[in-house]
Chains A and B, each alone.
Chain A
Amino acid sequence: DGGITQSPKYLFRKEGQNVTLSCEQNLNHDAMYWYRQDPGQGLRLIYYSQIVNDFQKGDIAEGYSVSREKKESFPLTVTSAQKNPTAFYLCASSTPGQGLRETQYFGPGTRLLVL
């Protein structure tokens, strides 16, 4: 089955700790995205990558880092510089330029909580 997987489902972070959220897709999509969702709000873009070994900052990139070494994978690291990391993190992927197939598909999400 093609799809996007995220792990873990729940993640607990201690003060000053860096944590990494995993996102993998087997849809052969070129573009991948990380969004953050706070309770009762819409999604905000953290980082995105249109191609392997390249990525751009989104609207709220401070305190986060990413890598895109493989087409299938786009991990997100929440660093200790992110002072308010508690949120629901969603990874998405798409293949731009494919018309109706251009929809961004979302993974199941990771809920990050600070201890």
Chain B
Amino acid sequence: QVQLQESGPGLVKPSETLSLTCTVSGGSITNYYWSWLRQPPGKGLEWFGYIHSRGSPDYYPSLKSRVTISADTSKNQFSLRVNSVTAADTAVYYCARTAHHDSSGNDAFDIWGQGTMVTVSS
């Protein structure tokens, strides 16, 4: 079965760049969209953006200026970079597969990584 695993530093200094990688195992990253989401401590879920292995990434408008998502099909991985981080970027970061259901035309996050906590602090 397909599994996702996030990796990257758990501590990032303010104004620096947060970088995370999601490794997909048990299946190929081709033919799906792959998303990044986050959840600040004690709060709800926020979607950042996604990428398709054969297309350009797309981002949530309010985050677009600071976020870059890329994919490496040779490694079966996709990555997230967030520039100029502040304490407000402290959160659990999740990668997730975005499945499109043809029957309903609906997109849903059907497989998730376990999440990785990133703290922004000096």
Say whether A and B bind each other.
no
- The residues of A with any CB-CB pair to B shorter than 8 Å are none
